[in-house]
Structure 1
Amino acid sequence: MITLHALEYSRATRVLWLLADLGQTCNRIDYPRSESFRAPEALSKVHPLGKSPVIEDDGLMIAESATILRYLAARYGDDSHTPPRDTREFWDHEVLFDYVEASFAEVALQAILPAFSGKPAPDAAKAALDKHLDYIAQAIGDGPLLFGDTAMLADIQLSYIIALLARLDLLADHPKIAAYWEALQKQPGYIAALRAAGPMAPPA
């Protein structure tokens, strides 16, 4: 059985979502955040960088949520979370899947971190975030999700950052993204993951 090292209010929820979609259970080891909202020292004993999520499977340890999601899809022979491989949509999906952490996360954090302290995002950070949210809105197209009605790996990957932006009222100028967030929250795997481990974003 997969062991999941799951930090509270973290990207680990993505892994639980996919596992729920796949009908798979895991041995979940939970780690509470410190008073400063940091990962506890105990996670450093799991991964040298103190990262979460991390999974263990038959002696294999994997970090990075995108790699974990791809691994689980391969491990359980799942092809329902990507468009068919011989289509243009498959490569559109792969771009969006990697875009989340490679490009979007850093931009979003420039607005998210001040908001957590009750401060407005700097003008440059807000402008950069708006540009990326417009890009995502274009990718959604007719929606409600990135590739229609069914959540793909890219949707699961994107959900954590969108959850933080929604929690901090940073989607007010982007109704299409807000509608996308509403659609994500109706996905069965998302609902199951939250029931198991609590919300993605911290409470107020």
Structure 2
Amino acid sequence: MLKIWGRRNSINVMKVLWVCDELSLPYERIDAGMQFGVVNTPEYAALNPNRRVPTIEDDGFVLAESNTIVRYLAARHGREDLLPSDVRQRARIEQWMDWASFSLAIGMTPLFWQLVRTPEDKRDPKLIAANAAEAERCMRILDEQLADKAYLAGPGFTLADVPAAAFVHRWLKLPIEHPSLPRLEDYYRRMLERPAYREHVALELS
């Protein structure tokens, strides 16, 4: 059975769990990271030298990095609807996955940590304001990209949506001012129609 190391409230673990459910894959999840420890043990470092989550083991094959993991799982199980074999279609999907995990994360990750995982008396208002502005800039890009299509890579749900939609939930739930972005809000509602998204991503922020 597929093994997944990582805590449920890690955004990168959420992506893997979400895709596993989209693929109807059974798995065993092992708590790891933050309060659970594990990641700094020699045994875990042998699996993932970066000592981060998630890490998976699939029939003896060990893999880290969430975007790589979900691409591997979709390809291994022949889900061309999620990750086509056509090189150009696949590149378009990977473009949005990488954009979300780098450009969108630049503002969202420190903003989330400041507002959710940092005690109020230790927060940095200037850092919050700067990262809120950067996160909003990226959310406006998403809103524009959804002007003529229901999902980031076209008319159907693909892996392109997984990293971005995970951040969209967090952004909409953060205690900040949100501009009116109707297309992004419609996109979020479409994601909420997916049981696996509700189960693994649309959670209380923690």
Under TM normalisation by the shorter chain, which class is it?
Answer: 0.7 to 0.9
State how many pairs are aligned: 193
- Identify unmatched segments of 5+ residues in structure 2: none
Question: What is the match of residue 79 of structure 2?
Answer: 78
CA pair 109-74 structure 1, distance change in 2 beyond 3 A = same
- Counterpart of 2:142 (choices 124, 128, 136) is 136
Letter aligned with residue 190 of structure 2: A
SS in structure 2 at match of 1:153: coil
Task: Give CA deviations for 1:142-175 in whole Å, capped at 9, x if unaligned.
Answer: 3433245532112112222222212214472143
CA distance in 2, matches of 1:2, 1:84: 23
Residues 160, 201 of structure 1: 8 Å contact kept: no
SS in structure 1 at match of 2:179: coil
CA RMSD of aligned residues (A): 2.7
SS in structure 2 at match of 1:9: coil
Letter aligned with residue 132 of structure 2: K
Question: What is the match of residue 37 of structure 1?
Answer: none
CA pair 145-170 structure 1, distance change in 2 beyond 3 A = farther
CA distance in 2, matches of 1:156, 1:29: 22
Question: What is the match of residue 202 of structure 1?
Answer: 205
1:18, distance to aligned residue in structure 2 (A): 1.3
Tell me the TM-score normalized by structure 2. 0.79
1:54 and 2:61 correspond: no
1:12 and 2:6 correspond: no
Question: What is the match of residue 162 of structure 1?
Answer: 168
CA distance in 2, matches of 1:58, 1:66: 19
CA pair 172-83 structure 1, distance change in 2 beyond 3 A = farther
Structure 1 stretch 100-109 or stretch 112-121: which is displaced more? 112-121
CA distance in 1, matches of 2:32, 2:128: 32
Question: What is the match of residue 130 of structure 2?
Answer: 124
Tell me the TM-score normalized by structure 1. 0.79
CA pair 3-180 structure 1, distance change in 2 beyond 3 A = same
1:63, distance to aligned residue in structure 2 (A): 0.9
Structure 1 stretch 43-52 or stretch 100-109: which is displaced more? 43-52
SS in structure 2 at match of 1:43: coil
CA distance in 1, matches of 2:135, 2:30: 33
CA distance in 2, matches of 1:24, 1:51: 23
Residues 145, 180 of structure 1: 8 Å contact kept: yes
The percent of aligned pairs where both chains have the same amino acid is 24
Question: What is the match of residue 69 of structure 2?
Answer: 68
